[in-house]
């Protein structure tokens, strides 16, 4: 799956941290959210349209505390660096 968006609520720790990913597998969009760190609880939603997937991302950010940060470009640069691009 290709990551098209990545957000973090700016909080550290198992109880406060929130992460959201927007991904596509070529046809279907997936929104993945995680509460807590690497071992945290996850939810996942699938969509046929990008607009609906992005609306879910917005909804998830609005209902969670924190100062949301868009990490999409940082993740993209890191991926490019790892693949020698």
Which of these, 63, 3, 14, lies nearest to 40 by C-alpha position?
14
Helix, strand, coil percent content, the chain, rounded in steps of 5: 30, 35, 35
The pLDDT of residue 79 is above 70: no
Cα separation, 28 vs 69, whole angstroms: 25
How confident is the model at residue 9, as a pLDDT? 96
pLDDT tens, position by position, 32-75: 999 988 888 999 999 999 999 999 999 999 998 889 999 998 87
- The model's pTM is 0.87
The pLDDT of residue 8 is above 70: yes
How confident is the model at residue 25, as a pLDDT? 95
How confident is the model at residue 63, as a pLDDT? 92
The pLDDT of residue 83 is above 80: no
The pLDDT of residue 80 is above 70: no
């Amino acid at each position: 799956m290709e990551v098209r968006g990545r957000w973090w609520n700016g909080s550290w720790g198992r109880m406060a941290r929130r992460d959201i990913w927007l991904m596509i597998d070529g046809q279907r969009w997936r929104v993945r959210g995680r509460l807590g760190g690497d071992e945290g609880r996850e939810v996942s939603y699938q969509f046929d349209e990008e607009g609906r997937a992005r609306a879910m991302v917005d909804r998830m950010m609005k209902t969670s505390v924190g100062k949301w940060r868009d990490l999409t470009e940082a993740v993209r640069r890191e991926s490019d660096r790892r693949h020698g691009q």
